[in-house]
A and B are shown apart, each in its own frame.
Chain A
Amino acid sequence: MLYLELFIQGIVQGSLYGLMTLGLTLVYGLLRILHVAHAGLFTLGGYIGVLVTNQTGSFGLALITAMVTVGVMGMGVYKFAYEPLLKRPPFVILIASIALFIASEEIFRIIFGPYGLSYENPPLKGQVEIFGGMKIKVGEIIVIGFSLAMLSSLAWLSKYTRTGMAWRATVSDPDIAQAFGVNKNKVRYLNFFMASALTATAGVFVALLNNLVEPTMGSVPSYKGLAIIVLGGLGNIRGTLIASLLLGVVESYGTIYLGKILDRDAIAFGLLIIVLMIRPKGILGEK
């Protein structure tokens, strides 16, 4: 039973990683930017989730508010921090992104205080019994269900809508897509909106499951997110999702069986090293 329980925990964690890192992959795929500041947007999502839920009592409203607000903030990050630097070498944008992330932690500390916020009346706190007396939190079921719904709708949008096709064409060859009338700026803004809205949901859910959001909530995801997208194969969406779930499950078992020797993050990077030794371009990386 423990095996199954650990597996489910791993899938929950993996789904959260997926929501968090898919945006990183979207941004990298389109612009070849390592968007470290993404983790700051993740934390912002967590704060908005807690604040709106505490104010209105509605977790659903909080989730939507976080998605929209953080989505717009993500577009702002592109517009004001990245767009002016696009013609510079990629490390310039990386440095700008890291600076932005560090600044965001301090801004959260100034605005919301250093100790973190909790839900006054934590939503979705019940437990459901599944087979064999094993219990799972309602919040966790919601995380898995919501991630599935979000990722399948995103897959559907990119596969079947004209905007989705234009987006994929721009990822593949921006100049030629533009030569056929695709507005690459619109695609970029949309990309940042989607990426940021997704990570906002991850922030809201992490804050929900831990019942805490604090200024440094994004610090581990900021580098672990990069590990995951490298693990999956840079820019590869399917690879990112597989890597997220794999990492969630491996961490879940690892903390029980290797927890005495290695901590959770060491296990994650251990997995990264092993996979890269076998497949240097990541799980689904291009050859």
Chain B
Amino acid sequence: MSTVDERPTAEAEEPEGPTNRPEPSYRLREWLSRPYVRHILIIFVILTLAIIPAAWLVIHFMNLSGAPASDIMYEIERTMFVFTLVSAPVMAITATILLYSLLGWGRVHGEEPPMQESPAIRSNPIAIFGWIGATSLLAAFLVIWGLVELARITEMSNGTTRANQQPTTAKPLDINVTGQQWLWTFEYPGQQSITSDVLVVPIDTPIYFNVTSKDVIHNFWVVELGVKIDANPGAITNTGVTPNKLGNFNIRCAELCGLHHAYMETQIKVVTQEQFDAWVREMGGKKFV
């Protein structure tokens, strides 16, 4: 790679004349034949391959407390996975140059400033535009992916479509979620307004949450279902999810809300429709009979 071309301009204006500069293909081959370039390319490929498994590791950690229990959470994990894959080469090229700078291009020790100077590379248009182009493409990919995913999970939250793009037919279930210091209350307005401090929902049914708070800001986080929204005093925020896995999952408060914030936890029980109906009868029976 050369620095700024210092030939007189008159020479450049004569395309026919002999040029002082070799062919681009020759320059590329010459560049690739340099030892440090080869080393860096090899280390780069190795490091990229070494980092790629991190994508599975990230998913593993996220699943330690429980695998996804909704399509939304599945989409979130897939986004994490793809972003980690895309980041691997960026991470690798930086780490490679760091390593090679420390180990490959030589070191000087001692207290006196070194006598030897390094090559005076002030600029390199190919590197600059290549880098800007590559990072812009990566950013564009991430932005487009994010926008599409956001639109998808927004639709899923609204219960209009499933991941397979089929409109759902199940009748949605409304639940009013109220946070207060330091517990959650769930009210089922369509089921004679029964209330519970444990969230019980039927599987494969779109659920709407109308979330609010009595005192300060809380955050309603259903961990394995990928639901998270602030519970604001004086406002109702909406979100939704369609659980697709039976079992008990965690609900935590994810916004500091005072003294017992750490203990503001409860559970969501995803049950079959029959079990849910039985539970509603049981709760309603207690309340109304």
* Chain A partners chain B: no
Binding site for A on B (CB under 8 A): none
Binding site for B on A (CB under 8 A): none
